[in-house]
Structures are given as C-alpha cells and as structure tokens.
Amino acid sequence: KAGVTQTPRYLIKTRGQQVTLSCSPISGHRSVSWYQQTPGQGLQFLFEYFSETQRNKGNFPGRFSGRQFSNSRSEMNVSTLELGDSALYLCASGHPGSTQYFGPGTRLTVL
C-alpha cells in the first residue's frame, strides 16, 4: 500500500504571497490531519478533515485554511505568508479512532 504523499516537497515563497500544499492519504483513509513542525514550537496540530468536513482546528490564525475533496485528498492554504510560517508541514492520515501515519512533509521557506 502506498504511503501518504505530499507535494511539493520543497517550496520557497516571499512574504505576502500565498501557498497551497497537497496531501494524498493512504488508500482507504478518510481522516486527514495537518501539523506544523518548527524547531521552536515542535509539532503543532493545524486541523483535521473527515469526509470533506473540517472536524477540528488548532490554535492558528485564519490565514491557515484547508479543505478535503471527495477522494479524501486534502489541501492546505496559507495566505499572506509571514517569515514565521517557515516550517515543515506534515500531513497524516488514518481511520477514525486509529493511529495516524505521516507523509514526508513539505518544507516551506518564506523569505
């Protein structure tokens, strides 16, 4: 079974721009979660989607948004990028109530 895939793997943007990251979950998984990883804050929960609905959201500003499609693929969008948004963005998929499996992440650098 293929693992969680994320595209692109690396991205460089400038302040004020927006960015869209993509995640394809493991086949059959309908729950997709997003996390931000930085050296200072560690791994922080962004939001979770299940059956195209955002079920929960972490403590991040409204510039961070996401969506899930009918095939369970998910995207997250960050608008008006700030330097502090530079991070590794990780997507995880799983069955509800079960463990989550992570993708390799997208490394976002904001200049």
Q: Tell me which residues touch another protein (CB under 8 A).
A: 4, 6, 31, 33, 35, 41-45, 48, 50, 55-56, 58-59, 90, 92, 94, 96-97, 99-105, 107
Distance between CA atoms of residues 68 and 79, nearest Å = 18
- For another protein, which is the closer residue by CB, 23 or 81? 23
Residue with tokens 């069955």: 95
Closest separation in Å from C-beta 7 to another protein: 13
- Coil, helix or strand at residue 85: helix
CB 92 within 8 A of CB 102: yes
Closest separation in Å from C-beta 80 to another protein: 21
